Every structure is written in structure tokens, then in C-alpha cells.
Structure 1
Amino acid sequence: MTSNHFFFLCLIPLFFGHSIAVDVLKADQSINHTQAIVSAAEKFELGFFTQPKSSNFMYLGIWYKGLPDYVVWVANRDNPVLNSSATLKFNTHGNLILVNQTGQVFWSSNSTRTVLYPIAQLLDTGNFLLRESNSGPENYVWQSFDYPFDTLLPGMKLGWDSKTGLNRKLTSRRSQTDPSSGDLSYGVNTDGLPQLVVWKGNQTMFRGGPWYGDGFSRVRSKRANYIYNASFEISYSINDSNNGPSRAVLDSIGSVIYYVWTGGDKKWEIAYTFEGSGCNDYELCGNFGLCSSVLVASCGCLDGFEQKSAQNFSDGCVRKDEKICREGEGFRKISDVKWPDSTKKSVRLKVGIQNCETECLKDCFCLAYGKLEIPDIGPACVTWFDKLIDVRFVRDVGTGDDLFVRVAASELERSERKSIIVLVVVPIISVLIFLASISFYIVRNVRRRAKAADNGVTITEELIHENELEMPIAVIEAATNNFSISNKIGEGGFGPVYKGRLSSGQEIAVKKLAERSRQGMEEFKNEVHFISQLQHRNLVKLLGFCIHEEEILLIYEYMPNKSLDYFLFEDRRRSLLDWQMRIDIIIGIARGLLYLHRDSRLRIIHRDLKAANILLDSEMKPKISDFGIARMFGEYQMETKTDRVVGTYGYMSPEYIMEGCFSFKSDVYSFGVILLEIVSGKRNHGFFHSEHQLNLLGHAWKLWNEGKTLKLIDGVLGDQFQELEALKYINVGLLCVQARPKERPIMSYVLSMLENDNMPLIHPKEPGFYGERFVLSDINSLFSTSNNVTITLLDDGR
């Protein structure tokens, strides 16, 4: 994956190339906002910076030399200096202090030890340390590595050190433009068997699995170092990547992302990500539950257990046979799992034990065991008591661990009977399936090749004007590692989507037409024909297409931040969309839509505008995508009718659903829905409120009439917005979703209202399709009438 990722700390350095020394600050020296310290090999730089939107707040920080946009450490993150007269110097006890012009201290190294001849040094590791001038760096008095920001650098350690009494953790920033401490942290939980954990406050969000002798389960990596010595240190660190810049960052939604700098491409690239969601969410399936994730997370029970509640998987599971510690009990092996939570009250580690099964059976309260091989020590057993929490299958076979769960004798007997049946029946069925598969494959292959040949000729002839966009299949296969599963990044109505990299270094997204796709050849030709002739900063760019035998492919520019719905409708990610960012996205969509309606030579109606079709680039700029069902209008054409209504429920206009009529105003309606979704952080379709049965549009209309319009604003925004601006945007959103097309503004007027504070606003009327139940009954009634309209509802994520 690319690291054209927007989670960085944007800053404005305040110095102007003036360094007081190569890498040190001596006792009689200080630095102000015009100066900086540079490490000996010029890898890191320490200096002052401000935020673009808070230029009065000054911070002392460290960043990679030449890459100032990515701060790796901040001294005074929670106590910025409020003017440009900050100075870093030594006090009379030899401590480093950060003061303003009046001498007020904003930060201190705060060492209890007096340093007689102090020196501060910035190392090429990014570590800033305080020491006596006549001693080496290894004899430091204080070091920045012991007080992490949100970034883990090579050589830096997370975890507990008894010598200093510190438990070092990464702490997230409040937002991408605010370096102050957020409520998320990442470190080593040393309560029991050590395990890597992301916390929100004191609550575990997700964990990487426990220590496994030579590393941490599920996060073992050649880039990581693991130290486990219970007498003095339990820690985790990362190695450098080919001696180039690298870092692991805890972002504002709790993901830990490991970046490496690619000098040739001059960008940060994501090497791997440790993140929550789905099965990684802590205790998703409750006690004794087992989570499995293919496309979505699903909960089951460990062997010998059954669901406690059929309605609520989070209630967990209970034993089928409650009587334990009886003769004949044994263990069921579950392979490729993340071991259960291993806090002190539930786990025990014994070293030098050869037979873990016997060890567990000795204790009636032992529920499960796992085996370890500790380097330089030997075999060990991990046994669990009390309950088994947060167990999940890992995605990649062979990368998980084996867990042996204690079960009653009756469960073992049932398993043996099943095994006998399986041994007899499975071979017979397998042979029959094999023969049937061969026959099916031969017939299907003949048909597919004939059909593909016909389609290929037809499509290529029709797209002859776009033939400069045609790409060889070999180029695409090389870019996507032959459509490797590791390159797959999603799936929509068209089919699977793969990430790739061309030989030029450009990153691409490849859509591969699936046989079962509801989007056929007409949609494919639409996509190629329209996008190839459209150029606008707020439209996704089509790089090419490919037709090879049965393969039909579309190649786009890669969008690293996925789509708007990925952020907008997920609680943690939504908080990253601040008010200004949401406004910029709304304006960008409006400009792209105006280009389609008025400024492009084709005059196009999109017909499937929705949050899932708004892609976000590395700077979170919106780009409208998916033109498969778009229609081109003539210069004076304003409306047309179809007997095939295709679109996404919640975004289609009333006249389109009810009568098959669509126009530019149909897109305006969809835009209004998206605008209200962006402002509120809620999805229109499926919106729920305890006091009424209205959808999001109806809820917004209700608040407008009650004079409570600002209650629609997403609660995570706090007081970021200006009231008049927020009211204007909601007003425009309601105007766009009016029931009658003629009462909706055209996009040029919409954009003028949004961008011009002096533009007169019209009072909205009742929106169309504002009651969830009303819409469903109307749609259903269409199928019982003779209006000859076919409705195809697409998924939100198409």
C-alpha cells in the first residue's frame, strides 16, 4: 500500500537554515525559534514549529531532516508556547527547559539528578538526550525515547523498564492538525503474559496477541525486536529498514501503521498495518467465542461450547456440558488462531514443562493450553483459567498459533463418531465432485471463450476512439502480481478491485469484471467512453482498459484513502473528518458535478451519486467515480425517461423511482442526500431515531421546522463549525432534496450558495421521500402496477 496517507502532522518550521552546532547544545548555549539542532549524519532535526491553523501555538519537535511534515517527537505537545519567543536552554540544575520571553517554563526534562556539566545531543536515531559532557551517550541522564509521542522509531522501545520505572507507550494526537494528547495509546500490557494492546483510555480496543517466546503473536516481523526479561525489562521495538527512514505511527483512529521511506519514489510507503475493526475488535464475540472473518466478522463458539443467546453474539458462549473435571476429558486442537487474552488473572506461564496436556488436566480450573519454545530457555506451557476471551482465526494460514481447548468426554466421543462417518463418506463425495467439476469446467470454458471472443471484437470496435487507453494484459498482471489475493483491496458491483504498481512506479486500481456482476457490457463501455473524455480534478481518472479473452478490466488512478463512506459511516474514522475537511469535500463534489452537468462537452447525468462513489485522494480531495450507468444529454435536452431504473436506495430521487424520469435535477437530489450525510455523519438509508420513523431527510426537515437545525450536526465535531455557515449548508442540502424537480436548484446555483456568503437563500419545502416506511411501500407498489418500470437497487458499497 502507499503511504500517500493523510494522517500526518502538518507543520510550519520556524527556523531558516541556521543550526547552532552539528548535533549538540552546550551548557552556555540556547536555541530560539530561528535555530535548529541537526544530528551528526544529518538524519534528524530538532527545532520549533507551528500548526497552519494555530500559528500562535509553538512546539519543540523532532523530524526527519528534509521531511518536516512528519514530526516524530514533540516536547510540549500539551503545553504550547503562545508566542514566537520560545527558547530551549539549561536551568541551574542542568535540566533542559523550554521558556517564553518572561521566563515561564512550558516544558522541562525534569530529571531528579543534577547535571554539573550538561550537554544535550540529538543522535542519528532521532533520540534527543541529556548527559554529562564528559560521558558517552550510553550514560544519559534523560532521553526523549523514554517519553514517546505517537511515533515509534527504530531503536526506541515500548514497554516496562524497572530501572526507570517507566511504562513507555505511544499516545495518539488529538487530530492530524493538533499534536496534543488524544485518548488512544499503544504499548505492551505487562499484566500477565505480555501482549501488544491499543487502549482507548483504560479500555482495550484491540490487541495483537500475547508474547510467544520469540515475539508477539500476530505481529511477528523481521522488522521487530522483542525483549522479555521479567526481572528488568519487557519491551517491543522495530528495526531500521535498509538503513533508510522508517517509523510506526499510532493514528487518531487507533491503527498502528509501519511506514518506510522509498527514496526513489520520494514518499512514505505502508509496510504493514496493525488495526482494529471486525474480528480485531476486543471481545467482539464474548466469553468462549471464536471470531472468523472472510468478508465480514462472524461469531461462533469454541469446541464444547454453544451460544448463550441466539440474538446477541456478544453475550458469548457457555459450556454444553457444565460438569467438568471428570474422567475421560481431553482437548480439541484449534489451529491458526490468535491466543486468548492473557492478563494475569486468566493465564499462567510455566517453563521447562514437556507435557502441557498433563499439566492442564492436573488443574480442574484449567480451560486451555498452548505451547511455547523460548529461545535459550526451552519448552514452556501457557495455561488459561477463568475464561477465554478474544479468540479469532487469523487470515493467513500458518501464521496463527495452536490452542488446545478442554472438552468433556461426551464431546470427544461425538467427534470420534463424526470422524468415522467422514472417513467413509468424504472420499466418495470427493470423487463425484471431482468428476462433475471436470465436466463443468470443460463446458464452461468452451462457452466462455466463444462469448469472450464475440464480446472482445464488439467492444474493441465500439471503443476504437479510445484505443490509446488499451493496456496489454501482461502489464496489468505484472502490476498486480497476477491478481494476487494480497493485492485485492475491495469488491464492488463491477467485481473485485486490485491494487497494482506499473513499471513507471505509478500506483493503480484495477477493476475486474466478475461473471456475476450486475454491470454488463453496456456499463463497461459507458465507463470507458465517458471517463476517457472527461478531465476534472474532482473526477476519478481512467488510465486504461483491457479486454483479454474472458478478462475485462478497468484501470484507474489509485485512491489511497478509499471512499467517503469508509470514513463517514464508521465511528472512529468519522472523527478524522473535521468541519473544514467536510466543507472541502462538499465543495469538491459540487464542482465535479457542475463540470458534468454544464462545463464538459458531453453534459452527463451520473445517476448513481452516493458516498461510496466519492473516492478520496492522498489529500482527502473528493473524486466522483463509477460512470457505469451515466447518461449523456444533448445541448438542449433537460429530461428523459427509462423503463429500467437502476440506482442505490436512499440516493435516488422520487421521480426517478416512481416514474423512471431522470434529469440533472436527479443528480442534485443525490448531492443533497450526500451533503446532509456529510454534515450529520449519518447514513440516509437505515437512519434510526428513537422518537420517530423518519429517515435522515425527514429528521433534518423536522429539526428545521422546530428551529433546532444545528442538532443535525455530527456530535464529534464539537464547536469546530460556525453556526451561520452550518445553517447555510443544511439549508442548501434541504433545497437539493425537494420533492419536485423544478423546486431544486441547478448545480451552478448550488455552488454559488455554498461559496458565497452574500447569496440569498430560499426557504426549503418538505423533502421528497422523507419517511422510511412511505418509501418502502411506494417501491413495493411499483411491482404490482402496470407502469412497466424495472427497478434494480444497488448496494451502498457498489
Structure 2
Amino acid sequence: MTMYFAKRFLFLQTLFQFLLLPFGTSRDTITISQPIRDGDNLVSNGENFELGFFSPGKSTKRYVGIWYHGAPGHAKVWVANRDNPINDRSGILSIDIHGNLVLNANDRNLPIWSTNVGSKSRNNTLAQLLNSGNLVLNMDGDERREVLWQSFDYPTNTMLPNMKLGLDRKTGLNRCLTSWKSEDDPGTGNWLYKIDTNGSPQLFLYEGSVPRWRSGHWNGIGWSGIPTLQHNRMFNISFLDNQNEITTIWGLLYPRFLSTLVVNESGSVQRSVYHVGDRQWTFVGSAPMDPCDIYGKCGAFSKCNILVNDPVCSCLPGFQANASGGCVRKRGSASICKSGDGFLRVPNVKVPDTSGARVETSLSMEACQQLCLQDCSCMAYASVDALEKIGCMNWKGDLIDTRVYEDGGQNLYVRVDALELGLYASKSEGFLANKRRLAILVVAIVAVTSVLIFIFSYVLIKRKRKGRGKQPTLFNDGTAKANLPFFDLSTIVAATDNFSLAKRLGQGGFGPVYMGQLANGQEIAVKTLSRSSRQGTDEFKNEVMLIAKLQHRNLVKLFGCCIHKEERMLIYEYMPNKSLDFFIFRRGKQPTLFNDGTAKANLPFFDLSTIVAATDNFSPAKRLGQGGFGPVYKGQLANGQEIAVKTLSRSSRQGTDEFKNEVMLIAKLQHRNLVSFLVAVFIKKRGC
């Protein structure tokens, strides 16, 4: 009869809950009047997480679980009834009359799953899915919102950000992760991930009760056996060991990322991240990662080093391999008991399993060493802190699961006998001697290099200072003093409209000639030395030095020059109304050389034979250089007069007109600074 009434009550309660349930709900809470059934979901307020019914993999069984809302794959981060599935879709999750969150189904007389906690009030209990993924049960209307139960205290195979893992000393609750049995069955599997609170606490991965991997102890920066996480910029990992708890917790530094740490059914711990924008999960780490991560890979008193070729296992200092492949003391245990024994340092290691170590949090490293020396059973010691500031551990039994890292880890000080210390000291002296020689060589090279750099810098600075405030290098040879003003290139560019074609007057012996106007209104003619000109720096220098000193009414006034890198320019007074040769030679007719009647040079003409004889037939030994017309030769007439013969070469850009102009102009011009003009010769085949 009692069973009959119980079934009737359960049926009426279920019917009442179905009638009150709004269809298609997307709320985040469950109350006594608002349960959820298979097909309905809760979504957290920030839409990070979702709670509902699901069937894993190929299974048709139904479970209540939590997963990331909107993330691909919908990997389940928590399962309520993982070991007690529902066989059909009749499941309903509700608050019962005792204030518990319960899961019922039509084919069950008793709840399939329950939070199994009591409450002070039966009418105002509610369950809420938080945006952290935590499902909490508390009292509705309670300002303190005291948590009666939460899913974070009962994790399955997944650890989420801000979820604690470890021991609550007050309640005795020890939070740990257990794998699924398979992809199709979320039931409690064979792999366990938890904090071992013995000795110096550390994380362990067990297969059943057999340890397969450990994280190493917390060294103040991170887990000593996971050096890659100590310098990560994505997670904020912390460890608490106080009178209330021994727990670890981690959070994300970037809000647009989601993350999980999962113990999977294959026996590995995998950390994944999901970027909301990319919509893709990425593995960022797993353990074990390599053979040296396997717990006890090399046995007692040995170290595993994946950085070297086989064998990866080698004995710690003072130990040697025996016939079975294990490591034993070289000279027995009696040799290390107050007989001149000491310690050798093994750097960059994950120290041995600390679950059996003695921890002294207030001792310095020196005090820890003395404490270990006084105890003949002490095998090694190390610092609790990676920086070796304070706190130490020492081991009395086997040294298990030591491995070497390329970067990271800490120092382990292994106890050895006096003979081993002596052998190590001899090796160290030889090594240090080589290091000293290398250091001397490096210092010598650095010193010589520094001296050379200093000398070079001194000479360079001295040259720069010497050149400041002086004329350009072109006029610093001490051969002449030009006393000419120098114009900036920007001034000339502005005066000629950036050497506009409209300002171009023509082509001279040096290069193009441009008309311009300075800021003060002065009109100028800018004679440039083109890079293709056959006249070079010497001719430019000669013209500057000569005309700067020469003043004559028939010569155009030279205002100055402009030198900028490879650019050479002369700035003359601008003379309008065409060139001088137009007025001397070109009034209405095309001139012929000296026979057009327009000018009288009154110059004697020499035969070519006379010039050939004077210059030894234009011998290269008589050649003085290259002029604007062509080569210039030195010669001597029959009367002893020394002459300079300026020839007009066929390849010269100056032609007959320029030759004629120079003859007519200079023949009439007499000045003490001008070379005397004796004679001109014109031959049809050759001009001299």
C-alpha cells in the first residue's frame, strides 16, 4: 500500500510539473514550479553555457549535461547522471519538496540523480546556471545567496576557468577529475586527475591507482614539472595551501577566449582554447608529452633527459648502473655518513617525487644543507622556491621521477661521498682553466675592437669638425681664394622654378643654362655642369677662380656658385637681349669665318706646318690637357717664343661659331689677367 501511494504521489508531482512548464524556455533558472524536461534547455545569462539533455556519440541513452553554448562540437563539460543514464526521453529536472535538485523519469520509482542536500525552506529553493558554467543551488530571496550545492564541487572529466581542484580542509571534499569510459559513455572511467596533498603537494594523473604522470611541486611560479606554463601569457594559474584548503585554480587573461582542461579516456590531460571570433578549438598543451614525462621512466636514483640521444636515462652523481639496469651507490651507503661527504648540484631538473619529501618552509638553503648532512639517511635536498630564497625539501628514500629540462626546472643537490667530490673537483678545475683561457681571449678581442672603434670615431669626428664653416672641398686645396658667396640649392631651385623648361636659355659648354630671379628681385643666369658634360670639376674650378678675380666691362658679372653633392652651378648676372655673339657676328647673315666683313681681327695666320713643327707634330708629350674646344698643346716657335695651342677637336660640342667668337672677343680684349692672344689658324680639315 505504501508503494502504491508513493507511485501515485510521484505521478501527480510529475504531472503538476509538466502542466506548469512553459514550452521552448530559454531561462537560466529552475524553480519548484518551473522544471525542465528533455527537449528544453537552460542558457546562462551571458550565453556562455547551456544545460540540457543529450545522448553522447552513438549512444541512445539520455543524460543531463552542461556545454559551451554556441561553440562547435558541444563538448560536455559536466554530466549529472554520468553513471545512471535514462533509457528514454521522459526525463525531467526539477526542485523537489525537500529543496533538492532531482532528476526523474517515468520508468523509475526513485530519483535517478539528486543533489541530496537539505534546506531550511522547501518552497524557495532555485537552481541557476551561471555564466561561468557553474550550476548552483541556493535560497531564492536570500540576500547572501548562500550556496547549498554547486556543480563545480563535483566535476566530471573537465576543469573550467575559476573552478577549484583539490582539498577543502573544512568539509573534507576533495575535488578531482575522472575520465569518461568512452566517447559513447560518460560514466566514471579509469583515469584520475587530482592533487596529492602529501609532502609538497603536486598534481598526479593515475591509471586506476598507478601514477602515470605528475606535475611536480608548486615552486612559487608554477608547477615545476610544467615549465612551459610558467611563462604563458594566456592563463593565470595559482595554488593555495593554507588552513582552509589545498587547491589550484586558473583563469583566462583574455575574455574573448574559452578554455577547458580535460582528462580524456585515452589517458592524457589536454588543455584547449576556443576563440569566439575564429569559432575553432585549438589544443595548447597536453600531459604526458614525451617519454620522460612518464612517471618513474628511468627508475630510482636516475634522471631522464630527452635532449640527448639514447640512452635517455642516466644515473645521478655518485650512482652507477648495475646488472639489472638500475642505479646504485658506487661505494655503498656507508661512505656517505659523516665521512667528508657533500653535495653535487644537478641543474634544470624536475626534482624527484615530493610526496615523500620532508618540507621545511622556514629554512634557508644553508640550513637545509646542514640539516641533510646531519641525517645519514638524507639522500638529497632542494629548494621549495625556484629562486632558492627560503624553504627547502629533503628526501630520505628513493629519488624517483627526476627529469632534465633544456629551459626551466631547478637545482637538485644530491649527496655523494668524499671521493666523488674529489673527482668532480678535478673535472671542474680543468673545465674552469679552459673557461679562463676563453675569457682572456674574448676580453682581448673586445679590447682591441673597442680601441679601433674609438680611433675611427675620433678621426671621423675630427674631419667633420675641420670641415665645418668652410668652403666646399672643391676650394679647400689652398691653391686659390675665391671669396665667392655660396648659394643653397633650395635658393636656386626656387629662383628657376625647379629648373623649369620655360626658364631654360640654352646649352653651354658645361651644360644647360637657366634664367632665374632671386627673392630680392635680382635676375640671374644659372650655368649648370651636366653629368654628361665632358668638362669636369677641374674646368668648373678654373672658371670659378678665374672669373671671380676678373672684372671687365665686356665680361658678365659672376655672383657666386652652388655646390650640392654632385651638382655644380655658376650664378651669373642675367644679360637680356640675346647673347654677345649675336650682336658681334650674326646681324642678319650667317657668318663665314673672318671673311664676312663684319669684324676685323687683325691677327696673323700661321701655316699648319709651323704649328706642327712647334708642337713636334702634336706629340702626346707636349699635351697640356683638355680644354673646352679640345686638346691643348705646348710648343715653341722658331724665334724661341713659347706658345699654347688650343685645338678644336671634331668631337667637341663647341663648333666653328664658338671658335670664331673666342678669336674675335679675346683678340680685342687686353687685360693683365688674360693670356696674350698671338695668332689663329684655320684649316678646313683641322682647326687649331
TM-score by length of 1: 0.48
Aligned counterparts of 1:18 and 1:297: Cα–Cα separation in 2: 66
Q: CA-to-partner distance for each residue in 1:92-136, whole Å, 9 max, x for gaps?
A: 211111110144321111225555321101111000011111236
Deviation at 1:226, TM superposition (A): 2.3
SS of equivalent to 1:332: strand
Aligned counterparts of 2:411 and 2:24: Cα–Cα separation in 1: 55
**Is 1:359 aligned with 2:378?**
no
In the other structure, the counterpart of 1:248 is: 261
* Amino acid of the structure 2 residue aligned with 1:249: V
Relative to structure 1, the CA distance from residue 374 to residue 308 in structure 2 (aligned partners, 3 Å threshold; closer, same or farther) is closer
In the other structure, the counterpart of 1:189 is: 196
Relative to structure 1, the CA distance from residue 136 to residue 189 in structure 2 (aligned partners, 3 Å threshold; closer, same or farther) is farther
Relative to structure 1, the CA distance from residue 316 to residue 415 in structure 2 (aligned partners, 3 Å threshold; closer, same or farther) is closer
Deviation at 1:319, TM superposition (A): 4.5
| Match among 105, 111, 114 for residue 108 of structure 1 | 114
Aligned counterparts of 1:231 and 1:296: Cα–Cα separation in 2: 46
**Is 1:304 aligned with 2:318?**
yes
In the other structure, the counterpart of 2:157 is: 150
Relative to structure 1, the CA distance from residue 378 to residue 406 in structure 2 (aligned partners, 3 Å threshold; closer, same or farther) is closer
| Match among 128, 133, 157 for residue 126 of structure 1 | 133
Relative to structure 1, the CA distance from residue 112 to residue 337 in structure 2 (aligned partners, 3 Å threshold; closer, same or farther) is farther
Q: How many residue pairs are counted as aligned between the two chains?
A: 408
**Is 1:380 aligned with 2:391?**
yes
Aligned counterparts of 1:254 and 1:136: Cα–Cα separation in 2: 44
Relative to structure 1, the CA distance from residue 351 to residue 431 in structure 2 (aligned partners, 3 Å threshold; closer, same or farther) is closer
Deviation at 1:429, TM superposition (A): 11
In the other structure, the counterpart of 1:92 is: 97
**Is 1:405 aligned with 2:414?**
yes
Q: CA-to-partner distance for each residue in 1:364-383, whole Å, 9 max, x for gaps?
A: 222111123499x9721111
Aligned counterparts of 2:310 and 2:24: Cα–Cα separation in 1: 53
In the other structure, the counterpart of 2:35 is: 30
Fraction of identical pairs, as percent: 35
Aligned counterparts of 1:80 and 1:317: Cα–Cα separation in 2: 53
SS of equivalent to 1:414: helix
* Amino acid of the structure 2 residue aligned with 1:280: D
* Gapped regions of structure 2 (runs ≥ 5): 1-21, 442-688
SS of equivalent to 2:391: strand
Aligned counterparts of 1:33 and 1:137: Cα–Cα separation in 2: 32
SS of equivalent to 2:354: coil
Deviation at 1:22, TM superposition (A): 2.7
User: Which residues in structure 2 correspond to 1:507-586 (within 5 Å)?
Assistant: none
Aligned counterparts of 2:365 and 2:327: Cα–Cα separation in 1: 32
User: Which residues in structure 2 correspond to 1:640-719 (within 5 Å)?
Assistant: none
**Is 1:164 aligned with 2:171?**
yes
Deviation at 1:255, TM superposition (A): 1.6
TM-score by length of 2: 0.56
Relative to structure 1, the CA distance from residue 37 to residue 337 in structure 2 (aligned partners, 3 Å threshold; closer, same or farther) is same
| Match among 382, 395, 420 for residue 370 of structure 1 | 382
Higher helix share: 1
Deviation at 1:66, TM superposition (A): 1.0
* Amino acid of the structure 2 residue aligned with 1:107: W
Does the 8 Å CA contact 1:393/1:400 hold for their aligned counterparts? yes
Deviation at 1:329, TM superposition (A): 1.6
User: Which residues in structure 2 correspond to 1:123-522 (within 5 Å)?
Assistant: 123-135=130-142, 139-219=146-226, 220-221=229-230, 222=232, 223-243=235-255, 244-275=257-288, 277-294=290-307, 298-309=312-323, 312-313=324-325, 315-323=326-334, 324-343=336-355, 345-353=356-364, 355=366, 356-373=368-385, 379-394=390-405, 396-397=406-407, 399-424=408-433
* Amino acid of the structure 2 residue aligned with 1:384: W
Aligned counterparts of 1:195 and 1:82: Cα–Cα separation in 2: 40
CA-based RMSD of the aligned residues comes to 2.7
Deviation at 1:236, TM superposition (A): 1.3
SS of equivalent to 2:46: coil
Aligned counterparts of 2:29 and 2:383: Cα–Cα separation in 1: 49
Does the 8 Å CA contact 2:260/2:271 hold for their aligned counterparts? yes
Q: CA-to-partner distance for each residue in 1:230-282, whole Å, 9 max, x for gaps?
A: 41111112212511211111122222111111233321112222225511111
Deviation at 1:405, TM superposition (A): 0.9
SS of equivalent to 1:421: helix
SS of equivalent to 1:358: helix
SS of equivalent to 1:269: strand
Q: CA-to-partner distance for each residue in 1:735-764, whole Å, 9 max, x for gaps?
A: xxxxxxxxxxxxxxxxxxxxxxxxxxxxxx
* Gapped regions of structure 1 (runs ≥ 5): 1-16, 433-798
Q: CA-to-partner distance for each residue in 1:661-680, whole Å, 9 max, x for gaps?
A: xxxxxxxxxxxxxxxxxxxx
In the other structure, the counterpart of 2:545 is: none
Does the 8 Å CA contact 2:382/2:392 hold for their aligned counterparts? yes
Does the 8 Å CA contact 1:189/1:196 hold for their aligned counterparts? yes
Structure showing greater Rg: 2
Does the 8 Å CA contact 1:147/1:168 hold for their aligned counterparts? yes
Q: CA-to-partner distance for each residue in 1:452-490, whole Å, 9 max, x for gaps?
A: xxxxxxxxxxxxxxxxxxxxxxxxxxxxxxxxxxxxxxx
SS of equivalent to 2:372: helix
Q: CA-to-partner distance for each residue in 1:150-198, whole Å, 9 max, x for gaps?
A: 1110000111112231111111111223211110011211122100110
In the other structure, the counterpart of 1:488 is: none
Aligned counterparts of 1:195 and 1:297: Cα–Cα separation in 2: 28
Does the 8 Å CA contact 1:209/1:339 hold for their aligned counterparts? yes
Aligned counterparts of 1:190 and 1:374: Cα–Cα separation in 2: 20
Relative to structure 1, the CA distance from residue 180 to residue 96 in structure 2 (aligned partners, 3 Å threshold; closer, same or farther) is same
In the other structure, the counterpart of 1:704 is: none
* Amino acid of the structure 2 residue aligned with 1:208: S
Aligned counterparts of 1:40 and 1:109: Cα–Cα separation in 2: 23
Aligned counterparts of 1:229 and 1:426: Cα–Cα separation in 2: 44
* Amino acid of the structure 1 residue aligned with 2:196: N
In the other structure, the counterpart of 1:58 is: 62
Does the 8 Å CA contact 1:285/1:316 hold for their aligned counterparts? no
Deviation at 1:431, TM superposition (A): 12
SS of equivalent to 2:161: coil
Does the 8 Å CA contact 1:308/1:318 hold for their aligned counterparts? no
Relative to structure 1, the CA distance from residue 63 to residue 195 in structure 2 (aligned partners, 3 Å threshold; closer, same or farther) is same
* Amino acid of the structure 2 residue aligned with 1:73: W
Relative to structure 1, the CA distance from residue 52 to residue 400 in structure 2 (aligned partners, 3 Å threshold; closer, same or farther) is closer
Aligned counterparts of 1:306 and 1:167: Cα–Cα separation in 2: 41
Q: CA-to-partner distance for each residue in 1:632-664, whole Å, 9 max, x for gaps?
A: xxxxxxxxxxxxxxxxxxxxxxxxxxxxxxxxx
* Amino acid of the structure 2 residue aligned with 1:317: V
SS of equivalent to 1:348: strand
Aligned counterparts of 2:294 and 2:253: Cα–Cα separation in 1: 29
Does the 8 Å CA contact 2:31/2:126 hold for their aligned counterparts? yes
* Amino acid of the structure 2 residue aligned with 1:183: N
SS of equivalent to 1:415: helix
* Amino acid of the structure 1 residue aligned with 2:110: Q
